Amino acid sequence: MAKKHIVVDPITRIEGHLRIEAMIDENNTIVDAYSSSTMFRGIETILQGRDPRDAGLLAMRICGVCTGTHYQRSIEGVEDAFGITIPKNARIVRNLIQGSLYVHDHLVHFYHLHALDFVDVVSALSADPAKTAQEAQKWAKVAGTTPYIEGEGHFAEIKERVAKFVKQGRLGIFGNGYWGNKHYKLTPEQNLIGVAHYLKALDIQRDMAKMQAIFGGKNPHPQSIVVGGVTCVQDIQNPARIALFKNLLKESTEFVKKAYLPDVYMAGTMYADEATDSKATFTELMQGKGVGGTGGGLLNYMSYGDFRLDDTGFYKSALLFPSGIVYGGDISKVEDVDPEKVAEDVTHSWYEGKNPLHPYDGQTIPKYTGLDKREDGIAYLKTNEKYSWIKSPIYNDTRVEVGPLARMVVGVARKDERITKYVTNFLKRGNLPISVLFSTVGRTAARAIETELMADVMVEWADELAANVAAGDLSTWTEFDFDKVSVKTKGMGLAEAPRGALGHWVKIENGKIVNYQAVVPSTWNAAPRDYKGRLGAYEASLIGTKVAEPEQPLEIIRTIHSFDPCIACAVHVVDTKGKELGVYKID
């Protein structure tokens, strides 16, 4: 029997509004969990009746974090409907905009949204700066590099800065942490490294935002992508723009390799006991044996695939991230993704509707039924009814997880050379078994592996763009006859966003959108139960997790953060009824 009921509302350091409820037993182990989005947005609804050429500009407002992703996917959906293949330059430019978003997004996630689940800021105050410099050497060496910050002087200075905040009783951006929680496992020196890189990452991420703006026009919300191609005609012809992009990429890559990766090794190793419930070797895993550490969850991983590597067409091209689905963490098998098998269910979501619907026929009809309220005013879920604004996506009548981990797992299962190389190198350098990937820590590691891969491959793409332009190909747009192609058609933009598989489905009649549905990464992961009562990815990942101190549910936050939630995307007006802001309660 569940003994205690934990409510974390809102979960902070995410985008949007998310509430997690968990039941823990007498051993403080989570035995049940509910993920609930308490915000609603109606972008799918307002797209109806619009000109499909404008869809991208409206759809991009779904989110400002995966900025430009919805914009591009929406446009790709319209291009699919119109049968348009974009020119090479446009393909590479789009890859560069999205690729720099991945690096930006993953780095900001690790340091500014997730690191403090591992790093105890206050503990950093008892660090010895000289020992900290040695410790930084150690983890940089594991990552096969040298530390981003060398010498004890810089660490001493950071320590001084944080000490000043603490002395004045104002921790600022570090306020309200669970500092001192016994489930923090880093040493004071390791914590100081984490804090130092956190602060530095605030500067570095600005450069990454600039990279997106070079070909995107601006950031957030780039605006150089149009149905048929891109508009940054002058930028691709200006060698200084490409050089600037490469320069910023070089600086960012240095931080990724010398700070981000060593820090992931450091955190991953110190928290490795949570990741390696299973002792399976790589070979055993290839045979489908032994999966799942703390936070493993569903263990079904899906990727639509993304980053077109040639110009044969959107759904024909070779891909940087292959598409596929792996069930039960069994990487010896991988199935093709069939878009026909995607459906959304609203049994536990605040919408009208009965059976799961394919996105082409999907509906978004709000039906808010609220949360139960206790006498003391705390809202509780009506657990057998509707409890979230997020719909429940289903693939082939199964619940799946999407995201960087899914992309790496599918890549390895597909025996993709590049992905397998980056994943095995990462594991080998850290002397880690592949089973660590199927956990909270593994989800975080997979994101870092993907970041390194992306930073490296973008250099090749920038060179490919420069060479193609130098060879005289200046084409950036494919012409189409709107009046002919928009009579009656439909299309889908199925690709990947930083947080996972993203699909935009559009139906068009007589030049107007008649139905529009987006099924988004955080919709897959943060979804509530489905019509068969099967848990969503966040919910499943919490089951079995031990919460050391229920008054400070650090482990819940760490696992949920490992998905990098974006609830704005997931539900695409905030409802404050029946909801208390800033409530954390157990009873």
Least separation in angstroms between residue 77's CB and Mg ion is: 13
Shortest Cβ contact with Mg ion: which residue? 518
Least separation in angstroms between residue 14's CB and ligand NFE is: 10
197 is in an annotated binding site: no
Choose the stretch contacting ligand NFE; rule: CB under 6 A; options: 229-237, 461-469, 541-549, 562-570: 562-570
Subset of residues 469 to 488 that bind ligand NFE, contact rule: CB under 6 A: none
Answer yes or no: are the C-beta atoms of 76 and 504 closer than 8 Å: yes
The entry of ligand NFE, Mg ion, none that residue 502 binds, CB within 5 to 8 Å by partner kind: ligand NFE
521 binds ligand NFE (CB under 6 A): yes
509 is in an annotated binding site: no
Q: How many angstroms separate the first and last alpha carbons of the chain?
A: 14
381 binds ligand NFE (CB under 6 A): no
520 binds ligand NFE (CB under 6 A): yes
Helix (H) or strand (E) holding 416: none
518 binds Mg ion (CB under 5 A): yes
Residues paired with residue 172 on neighbouring β-strands, in sequence order: none
Answer yes or no: are the C-beta atoms of 323 and 419 closer than 8 Å: no
Answer yes or no: are the C-beta atoms of 120 and 180 closer than 8 Å: yes
Nearer of residues 293 and 521 to ligand NFE, judged by Cβ: 521
Nearer of residues 65 and 272 to ligand NFE, judged by Cβ: 65
99 binds ligand NFE (CB under 6 A): no
Residue 183 known to be catalytic = no
Residue 386: closest CA among 354, 355, 346:
346
Least separation in angstroms between residue 391's CB and ligand NFE is: 13
3-state secondary structure string across 70-121: HHHHHHHHHHHHHCCCCCHHHHHHHHHHHHHHHHHHHHHHHHHHHHHHCCCC
66 is in an annotated binding site: yes
522 binds ligand NFE (CB under 6 A): yes
Least separation in angstroms between residue 566's CB and ligand NFE is: 3
Distance separating alpha carbons of residues 368 and 579, to the nearest angstrom: 13
569 binds ligand NFE (CB under 6 A): yes
Residue 232 known to be catalytic = no
Residue 19: closest CA among 557, 569, 562:
557
Distance separating alpha carbons of residues 513 and 67, to the nearest angstrom: 23
Distance separating alpha carbons of residues 346 and 390, to the nearest angstrom: 8
501 binds Mg ion (CB under 5 A): no
Distance separating alpha carbons of residues 43 and 330, to the nearest angstrom: 37
Residue 435 known to be catalytic = no
The entry of ligand NFE, Mg ion, none that residue 566 binds, CB within 5 to 8 Å by partner kind: ligand NFE
Subset of residues 63 to 92 that bind ligand NFE, contact rule: CB under 6 A: 63, 65-66, 69-70
Choice among 36, 37, 41, 63 that is catalytic: 63
Residue 566 known to be catalytic = yes
What is residue 27's three-state secondary structure? coil
The total number of residues shown for the chain amounts to 587
Nearer of residues 371 and 390 to ligand NFE, judged by Cβ: 390
Subset of residues 489 to 518 that bind ligand NFE, contact rule: CB under 6 A: 497-499, 502
Residue 106 known to be catalytic = no
232 is in an annotated binding site: no
**What residue type is 39 in one-letter code?**
M
Answer yes or no: are the C-beta atoms of 476 and 229 closer than 8 Å: yes
Chain-centroid distance of CA 61 in Å reads 17
Choice among 17, 70, 504, 529 that is catalytic: 70
Choice among 106, 114, 499, 529 that is catalytic: 499
b/e per residue 54-92 (b: at least 16 CB within 10 A):
ebbbbbbebbbbbbbbbbbbbbbbbbbbbebbbbbbbbb
Question: Which pair of tokens denotes residue 528?
Answer: 């509530």
Of the residues 266, 342, 566, 571, which one makes contact with ligand NFE according to CB under 6 A: 566
Answer yes or no: are the C-beta atoms of 207 and 109 closer than 8 Å: no
Nearer of residues 41 and 257 to ligand NFE, judged by Cβ: 41
Residue 304: closest CA among 323, 283, 326, 320:
323
Subset of residues 140 to 179 that bind ligand NFE, contact rule: CB under 6 A: none
Choose the stretch contacting ligand NFE; rule: CB under 6 A; options: 58-66, 142-150, 542-550, 576-584: 58-66
Count interface residues toward ligand NFE (CB under 6 A): 17
Binding-site residue numbers for Mg(2+) are: 44, 572
Which residues are near ligand NFE by CB under 6 A?
15, 63, 65-66, 69-70, 497-499, 502, 520-522, 566, 568-570
| Residues taking part in catalysis | 15, 63, 66, 70, 499, 522, 566, 569
Binding-site residue numbers are: 44, 63, 66, 566, 569, 572
